[in-house]
Structure 1
Amino acid sequence: MITAGVDLATQPAKTGLAVVEWSPGAARLTRLQLGVTDHDVVEVAGTAQKVGIDCPLGWPDDFTAFITAHAAGRVELLAAESGDELRRRLAYRQTDRVVRRAGYPPLSVATDRIGLTAMRVALVLEHLAAAGAPVDRSGAGVVAEVYPAASLGRWGLPHRQYKREGNRAARAALVAALRERVPWLDFGGFVALCEESDDALDAVVAALTARAAALGRCAPPPEQDLERARREGWILLPEGPLSTLVEG
């Protein structure tokens, strides 16, 4: 099996891509790079069983309905809904609420700058679909929405304050802790790049999460949220320890 991870940014220069090849009891990081284009993502998705993308795959249903109504000049508000309640409902997807309750508050794709990255991923998904890849924003297709920091936390690893240049020491410690936890993963010559770039490191974690998703070891959307997840996207959180990724 091959899984891939993409730490998506608005521009290729800050976008990381990792590819992991899996065999019984072992795995190998065969590709890790920055400067990743949309074409690179589509190309990798043609060979990978699952691609984990660190970016919201859609916008909140309530937000899109609100914007559509506003454009038509007919916004209707519930009288009992306060300003804060309305903003929270418009700002966050159902998956964001679920992940927040699990202790990992995601950014709002409707109100934070990550919305710019989501514009890029929307085009990537269109390219994937045009290439014949099964795209399902709930995670059932080739693409899975992932949240590397939450994955690290679920695996009992440090998951805060490792991003950006000033946190290189913390990132190096995280890489060391990750390598100790996954002795079956051959990092090849990419250890230094993981230590230098949080974009590269998050891509690796995204590829590991994609493996968990491919094995059915992530919590899927509950039945009542499935249709909404297919529009809004759904963050797949891994269940079980990292060791389960190489069992069987």
Structure 2
Amino acid sequence: MLTAGVDLAADPAGTAAACLEWSGAGAILRELILPADDEAIADLIVAAGKTGIDCPLGWPDAFVTFVNAHHTGVAPVPADVPAREWRRRLAWRHTDEVTRAATGLVPLSVSADRIGHTAMRCAAIQTVLAQRGHPVDRSGAGAVVEVYPAASLKLWGLPWRGYKTGKNVAALGAVVDGLLEAAPWLDLGVHEDRCRRSDHALDAVIAALTARAAALGRVTRADDLVLARVEGWIALPTQPLGSHG
């Protein structure tokens, strides 16, 4: 079985994609693509059994309704709800709030943060996949699942912060060390050095590992399937990393 992971950015230059090959002995990192363009990502998703994408797969349902109403006339502003509260409903999806409650981490707002640019690219990739006959189920039930590498690392008991950007190579190496200690069955092969130098590469690997957990049914499931198929659903690991080999 193959699982893939994509650390998506608005542009290919900051995007990494990883492919893990699984056997009875564990997993080996067979492919690491950086930079990764839309076609390469689509090809990888089609080839893999399950792919984890580190990017919101959709927008808050309330936000879409609000923007559509504003576009055609007057946006609905509730008179009996504090402004900060109703704006929060527009900024974060249901899955973001569930993730916040479960992990203490606050996902970036797809409607109010710069990750919205990345989500636009992700939407285009979903269109490419649909045109190829592989439509995406945003609840994670199909070949694609939304993941959050920092949350996966935290839930696995591994270092999960302070390793981003090229200035934090030591912290990045510590995450890799912890990962390999927790999962001795994981072989990064010829790509290990790159994972120690690029947080994008490492996050792609974490996304692929979370995709494996999803394929085995060892992640949280959407508690509102109808909404998750519109907004997306972040799959959070429910078992230790060592159980996914």
Q: Which TM-score tier does this pair reach, normalised by the shorter chain?
A: over 0.9
Query: Residues 19-168 of structure 1: matches in 2 within 5 Å?
Result: 19-102=19-102, 103-168=104-169
Distance of 2:80 and 2:175 partners within structure 1: 47
Give the structure-2-normalised TM-score: 0.98
- The superposition leaves residues 100-141 of structure 1 with CA deviations (integer Å, 9 ceiling, x where unpaired) of 111121000000000000000000011111111241000001
User: Which runs of 4 or more aligned residues in structure 1 lie more than 4 Å from their structure 2 counterparts after TM superposition?
Assistant: none
Distance of 2:160 and 2:125 partners within structure 1: 27
- The superposition leaves residues 134-172 of structure 1 with CA deviations (integer Å, 9 ceiling, x where unpaired) of 410000011100000000001000101110111111001
What letter matches 1:135 in structure 2? V
Give the structure-1-normalised TM-score: 0.97
SS at match of 2:222: coil
Are 2:206 and 1:221 aligned? no
Partners of 1:45 and 1:133 within 8 A in 2: no
Partners of 2:126 and 2:135 within 8 A in 1: no
% same residue: 55
Query: How many equivalent residue pairs?
Result: 244
Distance of 2:235 and 2:219 partners within structure 1: 6
What letter matches 1:213 in structure 2? A
Q: What is residue 174 of structure 1 aligned with on the other side?
A: 175
Q: What is residue 201 of structure 1 aligned with on the other side?
A: 202
Distance of 1:31 and 1:75 partners within structure 2: 47
Aligned-CA RMSD value:
0.8
Distance of 1:104 and 1:240 partners within structure 2: 18
Distance of 2:55 and 2:2 partners within structure 1: 20
